[in-house]
Amino acid sequence: MNKKLHLASALLFAAAAARAEGVDELKLDFHGAGWLQGGRVEASAGNPSAGNNYRKNYLGNAGGLLTVHSQVDSHWDGSLGLGSIFVHLARGSKGISNKWYPFWVSFVDEARLTRTGNLFTGDDKLELTFGTWHYAYNPDPKNFGNYLVHGYVYPGAIVSNLTGPLGVPQAISGAMASYHNGGIGNDLIVQIETDDKPLYDISVSDILTWKPSAAFEIGAGVNFYRLLAANDEATNPGKDCDPGRLGVYAGSGTATESPCYIIELDATGAAKDTVLASLAGTKVVGRLKFDPSAAGIIPESMGAGAFSIYSEVAILGVKDYPRYYDKLLRRIPVMVGLNLPGFNFLNWSVEVEYYAQKNSNNNLAARNGSPIPSNDNELDNKRDDFKYSLNASKVIAGNFILLGQIADDHLRLGGNHDEDAGKEAMRTRSDWYWTTKIAYFF
């Protein structure tokens, strides 16, 4: 939480300064939510001896948040949201899976200032946002997608479950200039890394959206990930880095394995050359959406957005490295989602993701400052490359929302003394879990 409290304090100071500059009255309105979530991992193929067999482990948390929003004047507004979650982690082994070990996690949900105005004409719109805010360039996915602004490049560890307690997008931090004119939009984002170590690196993204009609939407973007490093030695480790500092997650440190650089092998398997690698890289993304209900093809009685299909394709790192990142096609995740007809009673959808990476999809090495994939003795290179997610939501009485999910995705649980939250719990086609959530919001 500390990494965002300074930002929240700065925004509060800016609001106070705005009032001091002559704003007669700050208009404040409050929003909040409280929720209870529970579920269970029904199947997990992890090795029990390694302490990460989450099979039949229960999942659960409860929490709340409160957000205050202020309309400073006709152009400026800001929000500050604080919350806390009461968590009980899945423990990862049968011997301790039922031990009750809860704790509180406080967080900054939102801390932003936004200026809204026009750039060229009265019909266009330019928004400048600073701080921490909820953002999704692809707003339709419930679990997969939005690869451009979440997750590592090298290694290409994908993040799923990108929505919060009310199904809103996960927040990012930094600054954004968002321009919209008719069916064309462009988001220029300077993002500060506050989720994945090494922290405080700066990435620069540009994301285009074109909506030629109410039924079609096309998008594309590029992210120069970790373009500016807060600590160059952590983001771009080289031959002089200290293998011991990175720990066993990043490699064995033998003649054919190093956490600091890639050792290229010859045809006999002997060390041939060393190649410097980096956590920095370039992501590219493209997406499509078609909504037949918006085109009037299907009746309104089937529900808004029924049978709309949305997709996203990304390249996680355009540069090849030997051994681990030598095939571009293995760095391309593809997701497709379909909104199912809810007949104005239920919102539900199914999503499928294909990602053919054969490295470990754990992010332990990257969190310790190494672009080399984590050693993972349990990794099965013939594992399922497909992931799926079935999601449903229902608003009741205007202020309650029920959410449910059945999935085989990139769930990372942690909870064991020997296992960090970087290791995936879902590894094969037979692995899956379910979770439900009820929330009250105002």
- The confidence score (pLDDT) of residue 211 equals 96
Instruction: Name the token pair of 3.
Output: 């990494």
Domains of the chain by residue range: 2-441
* pLDDT tens readout for residues 285-314: 999 999 999 988 999 889 888 999 999 999
pLDDT tens string, the chain, 442 residues long: the values are: 444 544 444 455 445 445 445 455 667 899 999 999 999 999 887 554 455 577 888 888 999 999 999 998 889 999 999 999 998 777 665 555 556 667 888 999 999 999 999 988 888 999 999 999 999 999 999 999 999 999 999 988 888 887 776 778 889 999 999 999 999 999 999 999 998 888 999 999 999 999 999 999 999 999 999 999 998 888 888 766 666 554 444 444 455 567 777 877 777 777 778 888 899 999 999 999 999 999 889 998 898 889 999 999 999 999 999 888 999 999 999 999 999 999 999 999 999 999 998 887 777 778 777 888 876 655 555 567 899 999 999 999 999 999 999 999 998 876 554 455 577 888 888 899 999 999 999 9
How far apart CA 142 and CA 163 sit, in angstroms, is 7
Question: Any bridge partners for residue 402, and if so which?
Answer: 394, 438
* Helix (H/G/I), strand (E/B), else coil: 329: helix
User: Quick one: 123 exposed, middle or buried, by C-beta within 10 A (0-12, 13-18, 19+)?
Assistant: exposed
On the CB side of 205, how many CA atoms lie within 13 Å of its CA? 31
- The confidence score (pLDDT) of residue 45 equals 72
Q: Which helix (H) or strand (E) holds 77?
A: strand 76-88
Given CATH 2.40.160.10, say whether it is the number of domain 2-441: yes
How far apart CA 24 and CA 76 sit, in angstroms, is 14
How far apart CA 187 and CA 178 sit, in angstroms, is 4
How far apart CA 144 and CA 333 sit, in angstroms, is 10
Question: Any bridge partners for residue 265, and if so which?
Answer: 271
Q: Say which residue the tokens 């451009």 belong to.
A: 148
* pLDDT tens readout for residues 38-96: 999 998 875 544 555 778 888 889 999 999 999 988 899 999 999 999 987 776 655 55
How far apart CA 382 and CA 94 sit, in angstroms, is 27
Q: Please name the amino acid found at residue 388.
A: Y
- The confidence score (pLDDT) of residue 87 equals 83
Contact 348, 391 (CB under 8 A): yes
Q: Which helix (H) or strand (E) holds 245?
A: helix 243-246
How far apart CA 332 and CA 353 sit, in angstroms, is 11
Instruction: Name the token pair of 17.
Output: 């300064």
Of residues 415, 353, 361, 306, the one with CA closest to residue 52: 415
pTM of the model: 0.88
- The confidence score (pLDDT) of residue 163 equals 78
How far apart CA 3 and CA 23 sit, in angstroms, is 30
Which is it for strands 334-340 and 262-265: parallel, antiparallel or unpaired?
Answer: unpaired
How far apart CA 68 and CA 104 sit, in angstroms, is 22
Q: What value does the mean pLDDT of the chain take? A: 84
Instruction: Name the token pair of 285.
Output: 């993304």
On the CB side of 153, how many CA atoms lie within 13 Å of its CA? 29
**Which residues, 6 or more positions from 99, have their beta carbon under 8 angstroms from its beta carbon?**
91
Write b or e for each residue in 64-99: b if 16 or more Cβ atoms lie within 10 A of its Cβ, otherwise e. bbbbbbbebeeebbbbbbbbebebbbbbbbeeebee
